[in-house]
Structure 1
């Protein structure tokens, strides 16, 4: 991006809305993992565990759900009592299906908070005031190391194919 081109808004709210719709369209239960320590998070404190909270945002579990560009707002019952919930989009760590664990973990948005949230985390130009540039892209190492790499510890069988990451709900 050049210095004279306008910055783009955060892609987080768009990803959240799209994944919410995808999960709901597949008759699954969308859940949000939220960093409850972030400023602006309004959730029942008794439901927070280790600074995080998992929120069921399925249509049948909440009312008045509004997924805006800056916050996600709705009413939900906690212990039988209806309470207003407000979560800044930047506090959402992941959105996933309860049944399958499929979804997306979102990158930390705290670096963007100081810049007003309009610059993306992958702005490779660095800061005009001397901030460090983002790391450059590099090749991913192959599955199997080449023969004779010199470390002398190649007695065991080669490792199997790499597994990709997945989300798992831990209660």
Structure 2
């Protein structure tokens, strides 16, 4: 199987994030299309996706702060990839990703036809995003992940659809 990607980015997001050290007074967005060509057994499948990266500014209401150890420098950077051509088939499942690859596992599914990449904290085995359990309901890592999804990812989806 061969996979090839092509696309054009608006600006070098990595360079912008480096310059502001992941903390910007104004929100940063970067949006571009990417086409994935997947070849298997001589058959080529193409999927075009719209990718949006979003980092809320320090003064934005969607700028969340990590409430745990101050040595940890988590930034509320999220990316959302939405299929545009062909549009996702009914029942298509997206996945959660972080800077480390996570297994394609139902525990990492979004329940939506979009892919979400964010600065999530992981459980001890580093295979799943850390979510609330009876024992972990007040842990800073769990609160961070919940706020990333409920605040920042939702704002990124809003930007992608309505701005």
- For the superposition of Structure 1 and Structure 2, which TM-score range results when normalised by the shorter chain? under 0.3
Q: TM-score, normalised by structure 2?
A: 0.24
| Structure of larger gyration radius | 1
TM-score by length of 1: 0.23
Q: Which structure shows the higher helix fraction?
A: 2
